[in-house]
Structure 1
Amino acid sequence: MNKRSVQRVAAIHDLSGFGRSSLSVVVPILSTMGIQVCSVPTAVLSTHTGGFEKYSFVDLTDYLPGFFEHWKRLKLDFDCIYTGFFGSSRQIGIISEFIDDFGNNPDTLVVVDPVLGDNGHLYSTMTVDMKEEMKKLVQKADIITPNFTEAAYLLDQPYDLNIKIKDLKRWLYELSQMGPEKVVITSAPACEDTKTTHVIAYNREDDRYWKVSCVYIPAHYPGTGDAFTSVLVGSLLQGDNLPIALDRGVQFITAAIRASYGASYPKREGVLLERVLGHLNMPFIISSYEIID
């Protein structure tokens, strides 16, 4: 891969015209962190699917092969391939081939955010076939970032908010055995403390488990998972290690939620990202990551 002054990410996500999610947050976050984003829209929606009904949905599966063929002719390469929402099960296979073609450099970081569902259920556009295809895709990732619901679906485990930390560690390990060296589970419940949620992670390279805790705020904002993983990707590309990247992601999302919670607007629009993007360029204070014994 040629050296370049600005790192380059192929961001394979949907594009929603209204609502802060997917490419609408991926692009500004990574750009603010000094990283070039090369967008691959997997679908175009009038709004995101979190809280909106009767939205327009255009599946771009048929356009992707020609899209990627042009990139091959241009001999493009990437420092990172970062996938999120898919429009169809067939699309996941096409993206798998894209990773084979463009991610064969050992220095290329492959990050899969296995977007499937939340709160114990699949999203309205997801199917069982897509879940099974996603299991195959995570095998090609260096890092995966499922939320708690998605981790349960990938492992065919029940969605149990009373899960113990020892069982969460087992989930992390089993997901890592599917292929990725690093596994991050967001929105992990803390059954011992209902006022706290966790981001937990496992790094197979050093066999360490990590946890970053955050105070639970009683509000749901679509797109926070996309924003968290984007900060994580940007942090790792800037040279941070996994626990620091986790910490930066959690601190940013916490700041975004706090900036949004007191404002009077529909929460389905997502966090007020515009108010906190500048935080990404402020000095970072390591504060909250822990090793899980």
Structure 2
Amino acid sequence: MSDKILLINDLPGYGKVALAAMIPVLSHMGFDLYNLPTALISNTFDYGKFEVLETTEYMKNTISVWKELGFNFDGISTGFIMSEEQVRLVADYCQEQSQKGTIVFVDPIMGDDGKLYNGVTNQTIEYMRQLCSVADYILPNYTEAAFLAGVDIKNEGISLEEGYELIDRLRELGSKSIVITSVNLKDNTAVLGYDSKEDTYFSLSFEYVAVRFPGTGDVFSSVMMGKVLLGAPLQDSVQKAMDYVKDIIILSKDNVDKFKGIPIEAWLDKMDI
């Protein structure tokens, strides 16, 4: 019987990001999927014009119904969360599920390139710390990791030792295993991690592909989470996710409309190679 995974993320009408990217990947990997949309979004933000319907009341009522019905999950993944109220709601639910043995994966989407996204407040960061504290795995990028840890962002790059110190600051929040993406080290770009099961740190360097697609982070987290839940060590799971994302970016690099993301269904078989 396959693991039941709940995905808490936004649902786009046009574009392969968030739930629209994660569901095909994890379905292909054999998981039994459920979802709780944090927002309905007309299209990816890259187009410059979009419509967003926040679903906070729906989320509250849905969680209440699920509790009455006794629904539980083997794994929960959280992604884009619209508001402080939603972060608090999700954090409380993940904490309750965690106490029943659910494995919690948190992608604390708050910012990138050294700054927070519009609408993200200091209170949001505090609630996101609460959510990270109940997580078995967190996957911030470097900007998000620095804000969560309360340290200065160094745009010129950091040393590997500073990267591992940043991981230790995040571990102090209560997070168990940690994966920090897009870290500019002094001599390369890498994904840094800490595997709580093995009590080991790791650094996996990568070559930046100069093509941008929205949704590649969602694909990365899906593959990594899927591999972990299938029993692979964290470092191997991260490397597999890195390799797959790089491959599908290269395969899709000539697509005319990159704003809608990668047509993930066309490349699912590449995951099996």
Q: What residue in structure 1 maps to residue 183 of structure 2? A: 188
Point out where structure 2 has 5 or more consecutive residues left out of the alignment.
none
Q: Which of 29, 32, 38 is the equivalent residue of 1:33?
A: 29
Q: What residue in structure 2 maps to residue 272 of structure 1? A: 263
Give the helix-richer structure, 1 or 2.
Answer: 2
Q: What residue in structure 2 maps to residue 54 of structure 1? A: 49
Task: Indicate the SS of the match to 2:82.
Answer: coil
Task: Indicate the SS of the match to 1:187.
Answer: strand
Q: Report which stretch shifted further, 236-245 or 122-131.
A: 122-131
Q: CA deviation at 1:159?
A: 2.5
Q: What residue in structure 2 maps to residue 118 of structure 1? A: 112
Deviation per CA, 1:85-119, whole angstroms, max 9, x where unpaired?
1011101111122113323223x211111011111
Q: Which of 85, 92, 96 is the equivalent residue of 1:97?
A: 92
1:268/1:127 Cα in 2 relative to 1: closer, same or farther (>3 Å)?
Answer: farther
8 Å CA contact retained: 1:113, 1:146: yes
8 Å CA contact retained: 1:33, 1:281: no
8 Å CA contact retained: 2:10, 2:41: yes
Output the CA distance in 2 between the equivalents of 1:23 and 1:139: 24
Q: Are 2:262 and 1:281 equivalent residues in the alignment?
A: no
Q: Which of 161, 164, 168 is the equivalent residue of 1:169?
A: 164
Q: CA deviation at 1:125?
A: 4.3
TM-score by length of 2: 0.94
Task: Indicate the SS of the match to 1:276.
Answer: helix
Q: Following TM superposition, where does structure 1 have runs of at least 4 consecutive aligned residues deviating by more than 3 angstroms?
A: none
Task: Indicate the SS of the match to 1:169.
Answer: helix
Q: CA deviation at 1:135?
A: 1.3
8 Å CA contact retained: 1:147, 1:225: no
Task: Indicate the SS of the match to 1:81.
Answer: strand
Q: Are 2:206 and 1:214 equivalent residues in the alignment?
A: yes
Q: Which of 233, 240, 244 is the equivalent residue of 2:236?
A: 244
Output the CA distance in 1 between the equivalents of 2:257 and 2:4: 34
Q: Are 2:76 and 1:76 equivalent residues in the alignment?
A: no
Q: Report which stretch shifted further, 86-95 or 266-275.
A: 266-275
Q: Report which stretch shifted further, 90-99 or 151-160.
A: 151-160
Q: CA deviation at 1:165?
A: 1.0
Letter of the 1:74 partner, please give it.
L
Task: Indicate the SS of the match to 1:18.
Answer: coil
Deviation per CA, 1:151-201, whole angstroms, max 9, x where unpaired?
1111222322321111001011111121111000011113313xxx21110
8 Å CA contact retained: 1:84, 1:114: yes
8 Å CA contact retained: 1:30, 1:234: yes
Q: Are 2:248 and 1:256 equivalent residues in the alignment?
A: yes
Q: What residue in structure 2 maps to residue 287 of structure 1? A: none
Aligned length in residues: 272
Task: Indicate the SS of the match to 2:47.
Answer: coil
Output the CA distance in 2 between the equivalents of 1:145 and 1:173: 14
Q: CA deviation at 1:21?
A: 1.1
Q: Which of 213, 217, 224 is the equivalent residue of 1:232?
A: 224
Letter of the 1:281 partner, please give it.
D
Provide the identity percentage.
31
RMSD of aligned residue pairs (Cα, Å)? 1.5
Deviation per CA, 1:14-71, whole angstroms, max 9, x where unpaired?
111122211011111110100011010011111133x232311111111112101221
Letter of the 2:192 partner, please give it.
I
Task: Indicate the SS of the match to 2:50.
Answer: coil
Deviation per CA, 1:99-152, whole angstroms, max 9, x where unpaired?
13323223x211111011111122234333222211111111111000111111
Output the CA distance in 1 between the equivalents of 2:158 and 2:151: 11
Q: Which of 110, 133, 137 is the equivalent residue of 1:143?
A: 137
Task: Indicate the SS of the match to 2:118.
Answer: coil
8 Å CA contact retained: 1:111, 1:142: yes
1:73/1:44 Cα in 2 relative to 1: closer, same or farther (>3 Å)?
Answer: same
Letter of the 2:59 partner, please give it.
L
Output the CA distance in 2 between the equivalents of 1:279 and 1:238: 18
Deviation per CA, 1:187-216, whole angstroms, max 9, x where unpaired?
1113313xxx21110123433111222211
8 Å CA contact retained: 2:98, 2:134: no
